[in-house]
């Protein structure tokens, strides 16, 4: 009896798992991927061709390689589907820091999308963001909350950046600021795009209290632009599966570290 064909959702899930493997390893032989995922060579080539067409990885002779951090970070549709359980757990912890009536800044990190959905349950909030997606999430079900979208140069991150965003942010005072990081290494923070590194720095000055969220995938790598360290934040909420040496490094900075498991504990 012929094996039933997997659904489109199952195929996409497998492709995301393949991409995660390539990102983790940097470069891997196609034959090794075939064995790891238990599919035929023809199926693996179809999966890899699809990912290569989306510019999520590079297909080489007999092997595949991950793109640099910038390409991965600009693949918004893919980023939204990564590490969902960890993002949900981080945001489940973060929502306890917010009270009704506060002004809250969220940057464009996909890590914060679950937090934006949770904010719709609170009343009389003022949400400030440069993310069109976060503005849509809160704006569609905002109750009595107000949404302030920081406008500027629209980018492939589905958000705005540049001097106009920084100028507007400089005229706003938030009770709380939430951001994530592209990469964290030794407690120091990095981003592949200068405009966004500058925005994260400006967000620190715009909020009375600043909170950083980071899942396990963020650690142990650097990018082009360094913009500070975890000591700049009042609270760092971290996936408890992050590398132990990275957690230890963060503990040397003057900040509070909260470890959260994917079960939310």
For 39-56, the pLDDT digits (tens) are 999 999 999 998 888 777
Specify which of 71-75, 89-93, 152-156 reaches the highest per-range mean pLDDT: 89-93
CB 165 within 8 A of CB 87: no
Number of domain units in the chain: 2
Residue 1 has pLDDT above 70, yes or no: no
Give the residue numbers spanning the domain of 161. 83-260
The pairs formed by 6-12 with CB atoms below 8 angstroms and a separation of 24 or more are 11/47
Predicted confidence band at 4 (pLDDT cuts at 50, 70, 90)?
Answer: confident
* pLDDT tier, 192 (very low <50, low <70, confident <90, very high otherwise): confident
> Do 120 and 251 lie in a common domain?
yes
Both 159 and 57 in one domain: the answer is: no
* Residue where one domain finishes, among candidates 67, 95, 113: 67
Q: Quick one: pLDDT at residue 76?
A: 56
Q: What is the CATH number of the domain that holds 150?
A: 3.40.50.1360
167 and 237, same structural domain? yes
Residues 44 and 87 grouped into a single domain = no
Provide the pLDDT for residue 70: 47
Residue 82 has pLDDT above 70, yes or no: no
**Could you tell me which residues come within 8 angstroms of residue 55 by beta carbon, excluding any fewer than 6 positions away?**
67, 71, 75
pLDDT, position 75? 54
Asked if 45 and 121 sit in the same domain, the reply is: no
Q: Is residue 77 part of a domain?
A: no
Encoding tokens for residue 70?
Answer: 């910038």
Residues 251 and 122 in one domain: yes
Counting every residue, how long is the chain?
265
Residues 68-77: what's their mean pLDDT? Answer: 54
Residue 121 and residue 50 share a domain: no
Q: Which residue has the higher pLDDT, 55 or 153?
A: 153
153, part of any domain: yes
pLDDT for 251 equals: 96
Give the domain CATH number at 21: 1.10.10.10
Q: Domain check: are 234 and 108 in the same one?
A: yes
| Ranges 50-59, 71-80, 233-242: which has the least confidence | 71-80
Q: Are residues 124 and 198 in the same domain?
A: yes
SS3 sequence of the chain: CCCCCCCHHHHHHHHHHHHHHHHHHCEEEHHHHHHHHCCCHHHHHHHHHHHHHCCCEEEECCEEEECCHHHHHHCHHHHHCCCHHHHHHHHHHHHHHCCCCCEEEECCCHHHHHHHHHHCCCCCCEEEECEHHHHHHHHHCCCCCEEEECCCEEECCCEEECHHHHHHHCCCCEEEEEEECCEEECCEEEECCHHHHHHHHHHHHHEEEEEEEECHHHECCCCCEEEEEHHHCCEEEEECCCCHHHHHHHHCCCCEEEEECCCCC
What pLDDT digit, counting tens, does each position of 170-189 carry?
999 999 999 999 889 999 99
Count CB neighbours of 227 within 10 A.
Answer: 20
Query: Residue 179: inside a domain, yes or no?
Result: yes
178 and 52 in a common domain: no
pTM (2 d.p.): 0.73
227 in any annotated domain: yes
Beta-carbon count within 10 A of 153 CB: 12
Calculate the average pLDDT of the chain: 88
Q: Is residue 57 part of a domain?
A: yes
Within-domain flag for 75: no
Shared domain check, 99 and 51: no
Q: How many CB atoms within 10 Å of residue 264?
A: 12
Residues 88 and 22 in one domain: no
Please give the pLDDT value at position 199. 96
In a domain, 1, yes or no: no
Could you tell me if residue 3 is inside a domain?
Answer: no
């Amino acid at each position: 009896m012929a094996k039933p064909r997997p659904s489109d959702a199952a195929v996409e899930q497998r492709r995301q798992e393949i991409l995660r493997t390539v990102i983790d390893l940097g470069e891997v032989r196609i034959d090794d991927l075939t064995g790891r995922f238990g599919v035929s060579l023809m199926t693996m080539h179809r999966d890899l061709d699809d990912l290569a067409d989306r510019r999520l990885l590079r297909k080489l002779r007999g092997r595949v390689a991950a793109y640099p951090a910038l390409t991965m970070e600009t693949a918004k549709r893919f980023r939204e589907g990564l590490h969902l359980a960890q993002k949900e757990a981080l945001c489940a912890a973060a929502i306890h820091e917010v009270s009704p009536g506060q002004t809250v800044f969220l940057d464009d990190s996909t890590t914060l999308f679950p937090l934006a959905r949770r904010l719709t349950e609170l009343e009389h909030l003022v949400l400030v963001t440069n993310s069109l997606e976060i503005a849509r999430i809160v704006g569609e079900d905002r109750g009595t909350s107000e949404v302030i979208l920081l406008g500027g140069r629209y980018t492939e991150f589905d958000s705005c950046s540049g001097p106009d965003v920084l100028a507007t942010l400089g005229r706003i005072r938030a009770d709380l600021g939430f951001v994530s990081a592209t990469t964290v290494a030794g407690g120091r923070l990095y981003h592949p795009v200068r405009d966004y590194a500058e925005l994260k720095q400006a967000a620190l000055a715009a909020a009375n209290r600043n909170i950083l969220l980071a899942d396990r995938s963020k650690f142990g790598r650097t990018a082009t632009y360094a913009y500070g360290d975890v000591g700049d934040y009042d609270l760092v909420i971290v996936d408890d599966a992050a590398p132990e040496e990275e957690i230890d490094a963060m503990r040397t900075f003057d900040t509070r570290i909260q470890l959260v498991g994917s079960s939310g504990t």
